Amino acid sequence: MNITLNGKPHAVGAMASAATLVSQITGRELAPSGQAADGQRLGVAIARNSEVVPRSQWHSTALAEGDGIELVTAIQGG
């Protein structure tokens, strides 16, 4: 299925969730809580169709054809 990720076309599997997408983009496995399974900080936030998706709901938020997703990563520095 096709979504828009950060303003660009992106293909995901038919049963993809927000968690699936975050795992795919970050290359990290996620626990059901939405935290990184390795216990390290993930530093990612996601919005689906302009609404923030709480990390605790990533696994239960199914993506749909045409969804607009914004995925942002926190960067540290000064």
Question: For residue range 23-64, what is the model confidence (pLDDT) as tens digits?
Answer: 999 999 999 888 899 988 889 999 999 999 999 999 999 999
CA 27, CA 36: separation in Å to the nearest integer? 10
14-39 burial string, b = 16+ CB within 10 Å, else e?
A: eebbbbbbbbebeeeebeeebebeee
What is residue 78's predicted lDDT score, i.e. its pLDDT?
56
The answer to whether 74 and 8 have CB atoms below 8 angstroms apart is: no
pLDDT at 75: 75
